[in-house]
Amino acid sequence: MNKINKRMWCVRGFVTGKKVLIVYAHQSPGSFNAAAKDAAVEVLTAQNCTVEVSDLYTMKFTAAATAEDITGEVKNADHFCYAEETKLAWEAGKLSADITEEQRKLTEADLVVFQFPMYWFSVPAIMKGWIDRVLTLGFAYSDEKRYSQGIFKSKRVMLSFTTGSQESMFSANGINGDMNVTLWPLQNGILHYCGFQVLAPQIFWAPSRVSSEVRSTMLKDWRTRLEGVFGEEPLSFTPLDCFDGETGFQLKPEVHEKHATREFGLTVGIHLGKPLPPNNQMKAGV
């Protein structure tokens, strides 16, 4: 099958055999986030995907990353380093059962969707705990395997979330600031860092402040998008080989020179002191 036909196969929804993990964080089954989660399960299952949902509140998932995540003794109890100790535990098969179960789901998934309400410009604490505890050193990243060379570079991921504020408030001129800047730590510092192909976020702008008809339209658009999600192009990030490890992972001179005369920086975070590229963390191919 050539590349064009393969892409059309995905766009039309024929994605038999794909596995999807939805990491979901909302306390109420009557919430808009619950409706968005349910819509994703329905649409993706209809496309013959296998969908698993980690409902973090229902699971009472532990948010705090502690030594209790390791079964048995730790290497250095006096100077406990969570990253190093959990790496050793992962290698030895001594991580707690709740972590290993989530790692199993993640290992099997072709697509991961994080569904949540935005809290304080980030994810809820219980979801941050999932990130802290499940994405352990060794399993999800290492010094050798990160960013474009990351462990999960064959997997797709997407943030799908609601905001409390209107879209205009998250603009370059808005009081909350540019949403592209808000998303950079999550999408680059966590997801892309682990190698994921990061799809454009699905943002439901202030659903609590709009009519039921508008909310219905939001969900309809979400369903439509999900029908072609495996054919989407991921967001653009600067590849790891554009940086020189011997100089503290600074851009290589030839890369910097290539972009010196361009109007915008490379990305939101790697902007070279230039204006930020428009919608770098919101849309692919811009």
Contacts of residue 27, defined as CB under 8 A and 6 or more positions apart, other chains included, come to 57
Give CA–CA dist 47/255, Å, rounded.
Answer: 42
Structure tokens at 103: 């790692």
Q: Where are the domains of the chain?
A: 3-234, 236-286
Give CA–CA dist 114/136, Å, rounded.
Answer: 18
Alpha helix positions (H), the chain: 3-11, 32-46, 56-59, 82-92, 97-108, 125-134, 179-186, 212-227, 253-259
Structure tokens at 65: 């990353």
Per-residue pLDDT at 229: 97
Contacts of residue 67, defined as CB under 8 A and 6 or more positions apart, other chains included, come to 74, 77, 80, 82, 85
- Backbone φ and ψ for 278, nearest 5 degrees, come out as -60, 135
> Can you tell me the mean pLDDT for 88-92?
97
Contacts of residue 249, defined as CB under 8 A and 6 or more positions apart, other chains included, come to 243
Per-residue pLDDT at 182: 98
Reported as a single tens digit per residue, the pLDDT across 224-267 is: 999 999 999 999 999 999 999 999 999 999 999 999 999 999 99
Give CA–CA dist 165/3, Å, rounded.
Answer: 40
First-to-last C-alpha distance (Å) of the chain: 28
Per-residue pLDDT at 133: 98
What single DSSP character describes residue 191? I
Residue pair 117/203 in contact (Cβ under 8 Å)? The answer is no
Per-residue pLDDT at 285: 73
Reported as a single tens digit per residue, the pLDDT across 129-167 is: 999 999 999 999 999 999 999 999 999 999 999 999 999
207 compared with 1, residue with greater pLDDT: 207
Residue appearing with tokens 């766009």: 11
Per-residue pLDDT at 14: 56
pTM score, whole prediction = 0.93
CA 242 → CA 47, 196, 266, distances in Å? 38, 18, 11
- Backbone φ and ψ for 162, nearest 5 degrees, come out as -105, 155
CA 3 → CA 8, 10, 13, 244, distances in Å? 9, 11, 16, 33
Alpha helix positions (H), 51-178: 56-59, 82-92, 97-108, 125-134
Q: Is 3.40.50.360 the CATH number for 3-234?
A: yes
CA 268 → CA 8, 180, 238, 264, distances in Å? 31, 7, 11, 10
Least confident range of 3-17, 119-133, 191-205: 3-17
Q: Please report which confidence band the pLDDT of residue 15 belongs to, taking 50, 70 and 90 as the band edges.
A: low
10 compared with 235, residue with greater pLDDT: 235
Give CA–CA dist 112/105, Å, rounded.
Answer: 10
Give CA–CA dist 42/203, Å, rounded.
Answer: 19
Residue pair 96/71 in contact (Cβ under 8 Å)? The answer is yes
